[in-house]
Amino acid sequence: MYAIENAWKVPLSSGGVFRIDLEESYAEMYRILSGKYIQNKISLRKDSSYIESLINPGATDPVEPETLYNNILKSIKFISDAYYSDVENKLKKISNTHPEDEYMKLNYNQINEISIVPGTEQTVPELHINNDVYLLVAYRDNITYMKGLSLQIKNIVDNFPNIKFRG
């Protein structure tokens, strides 16, 4: 099993923050923080559009980029701290009840495409599973982790010819 922690499903306001466990024949997605929780806890206002579009580095406000950037960093820290403070309790709860909106099990024969887009100085690494996009905010500067994740996914996908892999 290979766990991906703190994966932000885009758009964050409706997706939430997930833990993704990659098993040999299936993937499990646990939603640790819902988008509604995040919006209720921090008022993202104009920062929201930036956080939801981290894939687009030009989405900052040109009038006050430094203030906006600092607000975004605070939001990222808040979300990450909230994720890590509750992940174990939330996983236990979800594992016991498997609520439909917080748990999804995908057999690899249900997946058509997986791709990994590495981060740059201006962007965050991304994991694409079918049409879902997960921002891997926690691994932005961890090249070793991203290479390991790419290799792990490639090893899994090699056993499933129905999946296109780009990584």
Task: Give the pLDDT confidence of 99-126 residue by residue, as tens digits.
Answer: 998 999 999 999 999 999 888 777 789 9
Contacts of 148 (CB under 8 A, 6+ apart): none
How many CB atoms are closer than 10 A to CB 137? 20
User: Whole-angstrom Cα distance, residue 4 to residue 26?
Assistant: 14
The structure's pTM equals 0.82
* Residue among 112, 114, 122 at smallest CA distance from 20: 114
pLDDT score of 119: 80
pLDDT (tens, 9 = 90+) of the chain, 167 residues, equals 889 999 999 888 788 999 999 998 999 999 999 988 887 776 655 555 555 555 555 555 444 567 667 777 888 888 899 999 989 999 999 999 999 989 999 999 999 999 998 887 777 899 999 989 999 988 777 788 888 888 889 988 898 988 998 87
pLDDT score of 63: 45
Residue written as token pair 């995908």: 106
pLDDT score of 87: 94
pLDDT score of 55: 53
Contacts of 159 (CB under 8 A, 6+ apart): 24, 108
